[in-house]
A and B are shown apart, each in its own frame.
Chain A
């Protein structure tokens, strides 16, 4: 069958067709559509075995649950955006030490150029860090095929496999040929050696030695799998190494009619790591004198390759300025890297102004910020610590309400640290989904030291920024706060609507003036999911 699929959809279909038993994920751009597509498949599925596909509370719980499913012999997929790798890093790193039973694939979607992120960290570092095979498909068909291969390789070599994509791979469509066969899942089976999963130092040392020894097998597979391809050029003194979708941009510019010396270069196309040492050595023995490294993200290979090739080969890439040090690649940057003139074009128009994203009209976060700003102005030096979600836009015009936003859950704990330092009022603004993702443990820290903070949970009953996925704590936020030890009379609920402005402001004032830990929940459904629900109700 042929379908027009996003890279994310191709990965979802690849996992389904590989006999997936469970997908575990927390929403995050650009990875969200993978899990959503598996959920859509599951909602329509009439035959075959069910696939577990409910959203996880965060990436760490997702990674651990997937490891549990793998332990039982079934195939599991974990999906997240790049910064999610930081959240699940403990489980991820140690899954390399335990190894797997059923196939375990970890999908990290990186966001170079930070279209929807706070940094552009490169998940290939995590693959290298954990010392496990890492795949990086260059197109949508490869994304489909390699997801299936990743499960097979995971079971063959008893290791989790990291699959890394970037925004343009995740969110670009092309035609993909897929299997027509009904997938079959693994039967449940226990690990052959349970000590592999018990990481006491005595056992872990043995496992780690096995992982170190397995590196040669991982390299051998990268050399022989066919996923890394070396083609000797007419002028092998020049060589180009491409990673993932970097290959496409290179081919785009080299396929033009323009005369260019790099057209005769040898090309090594990488889609599987660790680096295929034999293929690199071949490139060197063919006479490579200058090597252009084309990689999306950080200069991972550009640094690593210097430990493999002789030092007299000149390496150019992001570190040398041949390609930009930051941001995603594009055909324009490749054109420049190989020394081609830019295409003639019309002048950019200077009348155009920027149009940043904004909170929707009618959004509850707006009313929450309107009240919060008014109350904050009543104090000499308020500090408001924000978090990750739609409400981060409260940092921009017209609200300018936030004084910090770092990572998931940091609002609560940074507000606590600031209060510990003597700041008052110290206020955290966090969404409901972010609160259950990483805010709850911080709130327990606040309660335990009776920190003088107000945690304002802007509860829109969904994970809004990524398109309205289920939020883990919906309907239970008060109980969660009571359970963590926040005093009942200091867990307040308001409805963020213009007509309630006076009441909201009064509640905020009272809780700011209370010397201890308070929670104010501003609860109103996301305007986007509300529209969707009303439309469904009409049908």
Chain B
């Protein structure tokens, strides 16, 4: 088992929470893990990414090579496209369809979405709307996205849910259930 995942988004959107849950589930499975994060200046509304690698064998590099990623999980559609050259030929993009526009030259969103749809393997979801439908707060949109990525992660659905429960346990039962609901909603909306 070997998965190379690029998590993408805009500083402050919460990509690291997705990484935390995947990491929790991976470690419980006895898998090796390396996760390179971005801290510092780019967190101020700039583009951010994290390289997450999980494997049944020891991992050497903290960074994923071009053409080496199996999956891009992105909280923002243009940010998903930023890392396309890292994706392998059979790789998947799982992304939010909601643009985060904080630059004046942000491209036409319809064109951005068309580019994503032109890729062979993609899941494009309005994660904020799905979170709302599931009765979860807007901050749980990242958990919807995580749910949508479960089929491509190589870790069982039930084990991911158990990971969500452990990560949010100290925040109380209500927070746990809302996040689980968000993950489940993303999972059932995923096409695969």
Contacts and interface: CB of A to CB of B under 8 A. Distances in A.
B40 to A, nearest CB: 3
A228 to B, nearest CB: 18
B85 A348 contact: yes
Given A332-B65, A352-B81, A393-B44, A173 B33 contact: yes
B78 interface: yes
Interface stretch (B98-106, B138-146, B176-184): B98-106
Contacts of B104: 397
Contacts of B36: 168, 171-173
B95 interface: no
Contacts of A29: 39-41
Interface in B48-96: 59-68, 78-79, 81-82, 84-89, 91
B88 A358 contact: no
B78 A346 contact: no
29 contacts: A33-B39, A116-B41, A116-B42, A168-B62, A169-B62, A171-B36, A171-B38, A173-B35, A173-B37, A174-B34, A174-B62, A247-B60, A249-B61, A251-B61, A255-B60, A330-B63, A330-B65, A331-B61, A342-B66, A345-B89, A346-B91, A348-B84, A351-B81, A351-B115, A352-B82, A355-B45, A358-B44, A465-B41, A466-B40
Contacts of A251: 60-61
A360 B32 contact: no
Given A345-B86, A352-B78, A353-B105, A115 B37 contact: no
A245 interface: yes
Contacts of A354: 47, 103
Nearest to A398: B104
B84 A174 contact: no
Contacts of B68: 331, 343
Contacts of A343: 65-68, 88
A359 interface: yes
A257 interface: no
Nearest to B46: A357
Contacts of A255: 60
Interface of A: 4, 6, 29-30, 32-33, 115-116, 168-169, 171-175, 245, 247-249, 251-253, 255, 330-332, 335, 342-349, 351-360, 390, 393, 397, 465-467
Contacts of A356: 46, 103
A255 B55 CA distance: 14
B62 A172 contact: yes
Contacts of B107: 351-353
Given A343-B67, A357-B46, A174 B85 contact: no
Contacts of A342: 66-67
Interface string B5-20: 0000011000000000
Contacts of B89: 344-346
Interface of B: 10-11, 23, 27, 32-47, 59-68, 78-79, 81-82, 84-89, 91, 102-107, 111-112, 115, 119
Given A344-B89, A351-B78, A467-B39, 14 more contacts: A29-B40, A115-B42, A116-B41, A173-B35, A247-B60, A335-B65, A343-B67, A345-B66, A351-B107, A353-B103, A354-B47, A355-B47, A356-B46, A357-B44
B33 A30 contact: no
Given A4-B23, A346-B87, A358 B102 contact: yes
Given A175-B27, A345-B87, A353 B35 contact: no
Contacts of B115: 349, 351
Contacts of B112: 351
B43 A331 contact: no
B122 to A, nearest CB: 11
Contacts of A466: 40
A535 to B, nearest CB: 13
A346 B79 CA distance: 16
A404 B37 CA distance: 30
B9 to A, nearest CB: 10
Nearest to A114: B41
Contact of A344 (B10, B60, B88): B88
Q: What are the nearest 9 A-B pairs in CB distance?
A: A343-B67, A116-B40, A29-B40, A345-B67, A357-B46, A252-B61, A331-B65, A357-B44, A172-B62
Contacts of A169: 62
B46 A245 contact: no
A169 B39 CA distance: 12
A467 B12 CA distance: 12
B85 A252 contact: no
Nearest to B10: A355
B63 A168 contact: yes
| Interface hub of A251, A253, A353 (most chain B Cβ within 10 A) | A353
Nearest to B106: A353
A393 B42 CA distance: 11
B65 A248 contact: no
Nearest to B69: A345
Given A353-B106, A360-B44, A115 B38 contact: yes
A357 B84 contact: no
Nearest to B118: A349
